[in-house]
A and B are shown apart, each in its own frame.
Chain A
Amino acid sequence: MATAAAHRAAGTLMHGAADAIGEAEAHQRAFDAAVAADERIEPRDWMPDAYRATLIRQIAQHAHSEIIGMQPEANWITRAPSLRRKAILLAKVQDEAGHGLYLYSAAETLGTSREELLDKLHSGRQKYSSIFNYPTLTWADVGAIGWLVDGAAITNQVPLCRCSYGPYARAMVRICKEESFHQRQGYELLLTLSRGTPEQHAMAQDAVDRWWWPSLMMFGPPDDASQHSAQSMAWKIKRHSNDELRQRFVDICVPQAESLGLTLPDPDLKWNEERGHYDFGAIDWDEFREVLKGNGPCNEQRLSRRRQAHEEGAWVREAAAAHAAKHSNHATGTEGEQA
């Protein structure tokens, strides 16, 4: 719950110049004061409609990404080449479903419902991360997703642990811990392949070649083309710009790739002494836009699969609801079987 500074600001305004300024503006000032003081906004606090809408959009898309993101990895569960790797992968996709659940719950604190959000996903009105529209073609892709995709996600998400909206920030603390564990596992998988047979090494290199650029696209459009960035940063939902985070990610990955004994598919990648950062080549923003528009390699497949699971599961959800209804009716005052 709120927020000493917010209450002070609201109290002063409400008791003092409330007539002149009006209740709405008092709320707005209290909200601004809380954000400025790095306090958390909580579900019962007043918030601007646009802040609520932005958070619903962002948290929902984050949740959808966890759910759709299960598919490219689940593609390899039944083919994992050792029982240890299979167990790690099963645990990982289970975590992702759990992350989806936390995030839908966080979104629900803003006055929406999981059903409504899933409906928006299934009808294409809300998006998920563009990265999951790429196919997993070999076992090494599971490692590349762990190292690069989860690595990019962590770079994006760690600052969200300090996001101004409390429920989202707290979900991110928990999610980031598990994600960094997954990322290390992905790195270790690639390292094993890289040091394995020549075929395994080639498999690892091929996967990194295919996943590198899409991972850089995960940070979103360049700063000058990012429509939500400025407002999100002012609200302290976002803490760093897309390009800053992308640069941070590149700087982390280059030495890791060297330790892996793998190369990154960018001839323009080189250390810039003056900037203290790696320079890197141009991203293919046309490809990015096409994938966002639904024309990536797996957009159709991912969404169909999700819709299919939902539709084929309808009778199960209806059964659970009918059972619960029967037993809550029967059980008035008596002990009923638990659903």
Chain B
Amino acid sequence: MTATVATTAALALGDDALVLSHRLGEWVGHAPVLEEEVALANIALDLLGQARFLLSMVGDEDELAYLREERAFTNLQLVEQPNGDFAHTIARQLYFSTYQHLLYAQLAAAGGVFAPLAGKAVHEVAYHRDHAEQWTLRLGDGTDVSHERMRRACTALWRFTGELFQPVAGLDVDWAGLETAWLESVGDVLRRATLTLPEGPRSGAWSAGAGRQGLHTEPFGRMLAEMQHLHRSHPGASW
């Protein structure tokens, strides 16, 4: 593994964690119950910790987070999607945390440069996955209203899931096996939640691997503007 390839992979994983952490941070003060204020902030904090570790493998974490333009970020489009209602946030968490848990389990086992991080983070991510699964069950198999909202959310985000399995250079992962395990797991949770796997394409020419190539959706630029504004207003300052 060359340094450049490891750098690409660390940025991809670090950007995923950084961007999703930011989105979850937007929930603080808005959650439906106090326990979820704690849970969502807790998950955001775990992801931010992972992001800081991964970005620091590449360079200065703050330069990378605050001074790159939108086109230089390589996170998945899934994680940059706006929070929407609680069902959208949970669907995004279900798709991503299942992916991240399976991915980190493989990276931990593979023993490469990402094994130390993955081995530690896999425990945090198992909690994130459980949280998302339990809420998917409650919303899917709750009231008619919550069922419909959960169904809509899973469908709306479905087209961003193909990108999860585009191989990332530098990651020693069985991508086909990852995809099979992911489909099985998410399918099982949705079935138990009285929902079904959405139909329709999981990616298109417009989106296959796009986030990893620095091609993002429109809301992402606005998210970065908010995140980077203060840091960029004081060049060279320490905080």
A residues within 8 Å of B by Cβ? 67, 70-71, 74, 77-87, 90-91, 93-94, 97-98, 100-101, 104, 114, 139, 192-193, 196-197, 199-200, 305, 308-310, 312-320, 322-324, 326, 337-339
Which residue of chain B is the closest to A189 with respect to CB atoms?
B239
**A83, B52: Cβ atoms under 8 Å?**
yes
Query: Any chain A CB within 8 A of the CB of B25?
Result: yes
Q: Which of B30-53 contact A (CB under 8 A)?
A: 30-35, 37-38, 41-42, 44-45, 48-49, 51-52
**A313, B239: Cβ atoms under 8 Å?**
no
Which residue of chain B is the closest to A339 with respect to CB atoms?
B138
Contact of A86 among B25, B33, B236 (CB under 8 A): B25
Stretch of B69-77, B114-122, B139-147 that contacts chain A: B139-147
**A317, B25: Cβ atoms under 8 Å?**
no
Sample of 17 more A-B contacts, CB < 8 Å, known A74-B28, A315-B149: A79-B230, A81-B231, A81-B234, A87-B45, A87-B52, A90-B41, A91-B41, A94-B38, A94-B42, A192-B239, A193-B239, A197-B237, A318-B146, A322-B143, A322-B146, A337-B137, A338-B134
Query: Any chain A CB within 8 A of the CB of B65?
Result: yes
Within the assembled complex, what's the spacing in Å between the Cα atoms of A339 and B52? 33
A71 partner residues in chain B, CB cutoff 8 A: 29
Nearest CB of chain A from residue B191's CB, rounded to whole Å: 12
Nearest CB of chain A from residue B231's CB, rounded to whole Å: 5
Query: Any chain A CB within 8 A of the CB of B229?
Result: yes
A81 partner residues in chain B, CB cutoff 8 A: 66, 230-231, 234, 237, 239
Within the assembled complex, what's the spacing in Å between the Cα atoms of A337 and B62? 43
Query: Any chain A CB within 8 A of the CB of B159?
Result: no
Looking at chain B's contact residues, is the secondary structure mostly helix, strand, loop, or mixed? helix
B residues within 8 Å of A by Cβ? 18, 22, 25-26, 28-35, 37-38, 41-42, 44-45, 48-49, 51-52, 55, 61-62, 65-66, 85-86, 134, 137-139, 141-143, 145-146, 149, 192, 226-227, 229-231, 234, 236-239
